[in-house]
């Protein structure tokens, strides 16, 4: 048997954690032949609930689980970590200003960035799920100077999957008929779900739908889907977010299929005029555990405006956390 891969999940006692851990343990992310060691990180008040989840994981008798431990100390939880899934974050409470939210999360992600820097394995890959995900990833990266910036990513795969599902429903086609859809920018309502390069059974998606559907129905539906789930379900997306986190990492580790790509928020290298120094979503392909931003796509005027608006929001988040001394 191969050496176990150490996966640390933060916010392990939360609702996404509960949906995520069992998928990881079953082999959904790393495949059926890779043993996995699970480190569950929580805040002290929630470690007991995390212990309960660990008991249930034990009761699943998953053959791939080579070890499991609950921590309230990031330094211990990230020691030797290969894959870090940063789910736990501080939600916005009543009366909380944006600056309060950014600084509360800054406290969490700066500490976790330092702990990763101190103890993570050489090959560590990080995905941030906890919101504001892109900016939290930037903060963690800034506190981990010895880890390449490229290893810090934020999740926009849920947005990607939501967009796939909406387009598939509109076309009355299976999701598998669709290729090359992309999410650009921030994981927020300003994101740009882009179908200008997408195909449905090989046919350009934009030739199959009205422009007004894209601008007035598709984009707002995808961008505001989180709020829609809250209003219908009475709680925020959990299993779908966990599934997207599995997909984000599965594709990063195992590679994207030929002729398609995924969406990931990654440090910009200046591609498509997105300034360096922010973590923004792009279409990416992955191979051998490395991702690359898809190059050479034509960007329409409509796309340009949408991408620029989301990037402007990311720049203002970055400036706000820089002013708080978090970068």
Smallest CA-to-CA distance from 185 within 302, 299, 278 is with: 278
Query: How far apart, in whole angstroms, are the C-alpha atoms of residue 268 and residue 277?
Result: 7
Q: Is 162 annotated as a binding-site member?
A: yes
Q: Is 88 in the site for ligand NAX (CB under 6 A)?
A: yes
Is 25:57 a contact under the CB 8 Å cutoff?
yes
For ligand NAX, which residue of 47, 82, 131, 199 counts as binding (CB under 6 A)? 131
Query: How far apart, in whole angstroms, are the C-alpha atoms of residue 128 and residue 68?
Result: 21
Q: How far is the CB of 223 from ligand NAX (least distance, A)?
A: 12
Q: How far is CA 87 from CA 17, 18, 122, 299, in A?
A: 7, 11, 21, 32
Query: How far apart, in whole angstroms, are the C-alpha atoms of residue 327 and residue 312?
Result: 18
Q: Is 229 in the site for ligand NAX (CB under 6 A)?
A: no
For ligand NAX, which residue of 8, 24, 39, 42 counts as binding (CB under 6 A)? 42
Q: Is 129 in the site for ligand NAX (CB under 6 A)?
A: yes
Helices (H) and strands (E) in the chain, counts: 11, 14
Q: How far is the CB of 41 from ligand NAX (least distance, A)?
A: 5
Identify residues 233-272 at the interface with ligand NAX (CB under 6 A).
236-238, 241
For ligand NAX, which residue of 24, 30, 36, 41 counts as binding (CB under 6 A)? 41
Q: How far is the CB of 241 from ligand NAX (least distance, A)?
A: 4
Query: How far apart, in whole angstroms, are the C-alpha atoms of residue 162 and residue 223?
Result: 9
With a CB cutoff of 8 Å and minimum separation 6, the contacts of 79 are 119
Give the position of tokens 């929580």. 42
For ligand NAX, which residue of 37, 143, 180, 187 counts as binding (CB under 6 A)? 187
Active site residue: 143, 187, 197, 248, which one? 187
For ligand NAX, which residue of 24, 65, 84, 133 counts as binding (CB under 6 A)? 133
Q: Which residues pair with 5 in a beta bridge?
A: 36
C-beta of 151 vs 162, nearer to ligand NAX: 162
Q: Is 155 in the site for ligand NAX (CB under 6 A)?
A: yes
Q: Check if 160 is active-site.
A: no
Q: Which residues pair with 265 in a beta bridge?
A: 154, 281
Long-range contacts (CB closer than 8 Å, 24 or more residues apart) made by 313-316:
313/185, 313/186, 313/188, 313/190, 314/134, 314/135, 314/185, 314/186, 314/278, 314/279, 314/280, 315/275, 315/278
Give the position of tokens 């809250």. 230
How many residues sit close enough to ligand NAX to count as binding (CB under 6 A)? 29
Q: Is 288 annotated as a binding-site member?
A: no
Q: Is 11 in the site for ligand NAX (CB under 6 A)?
A: yes
Q: How far is the CB of 127 from ligand NAX (least distance, A)?
A: 9
Near ligand NAX by CB under 6 A, which window of 94-102, 231-239, 291-299, 308-316?
231-239
Which residue ranges are tagged as binding site? 11-17, 92, 98, 105, 112, 129-131, 162
The set of catalytic residues is 187
Chain contacts with ligand NAX (rule: CB under 6 A): 10-11, 13-17, 41-43, 46, 87-91, 108, 129-131, 133, 155, 158, 187, 226, 236-238, 241
């Amino acid at each position: 048997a191969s050496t176990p891969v150490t996966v640390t999940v933060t916010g392990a006692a939360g609702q996404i954690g509960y949906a995520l851990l069992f998928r990881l343990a079953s082999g959904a992310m790393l495949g059926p032949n890779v043993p996995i060691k699970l480190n569950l990180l929580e805040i002290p008040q929630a470690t007991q609930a995390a212990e309960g989840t660990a008991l249930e994981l034990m009761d699943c008798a998953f053959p791939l689980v080579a070890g499991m431990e609950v921590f309230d100390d990031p330094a211990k939880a990230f020691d030797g970590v290969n894959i870090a899934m940063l789910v736990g974050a501080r939600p916005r409470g009543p009366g909380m200003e944006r600056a309060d939210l950014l600084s509360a999360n800054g406290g969490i992600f700066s500490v976790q960035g330092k702990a990763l820097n101190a103890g993570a394995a050489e090959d560590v890959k990080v995905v941030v799920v906890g919101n504001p995900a892109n900016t939290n990833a930037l903060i963690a990266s800034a506190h981990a100077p010895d880890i390449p910036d490229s290893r810090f990513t934020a999740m926009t795969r849920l947005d990607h999957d939501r967009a796939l599902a909406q387009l598939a429903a509109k076309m009355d086609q299976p999701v598998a008929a669709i290729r090359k859809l992309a999410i650009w920018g921030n994981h927020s309502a300003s994101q740009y779900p882009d179908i200008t390069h997408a195909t449905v059974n090989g046919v350009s998606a934009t030739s199959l739908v009205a422009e007004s559907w894209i601008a007035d129905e598709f984009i707002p539906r995808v961008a505001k889907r989180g709020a829609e789930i809250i209003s219908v379900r009475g709680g925020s997306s959990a299993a779908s977010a966990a599934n997207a986190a599995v997909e984000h990492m599965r594709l990063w580790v195992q590679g994207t299929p030929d002729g398609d790509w995924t969406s990931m928020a990654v440090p910009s290298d200046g591609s498509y005029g997105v300034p360096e120094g922010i973590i923004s979503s792009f279409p990416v392909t992955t191979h051998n555990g490395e991702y690359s931003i898809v190059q050479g796509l034509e960007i329409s005027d409509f796309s340009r405006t949408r991408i620029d608006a989301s990037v402007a929001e990311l720049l203002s988040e970055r400036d706000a956390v820089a002013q708080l001394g978090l970068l």
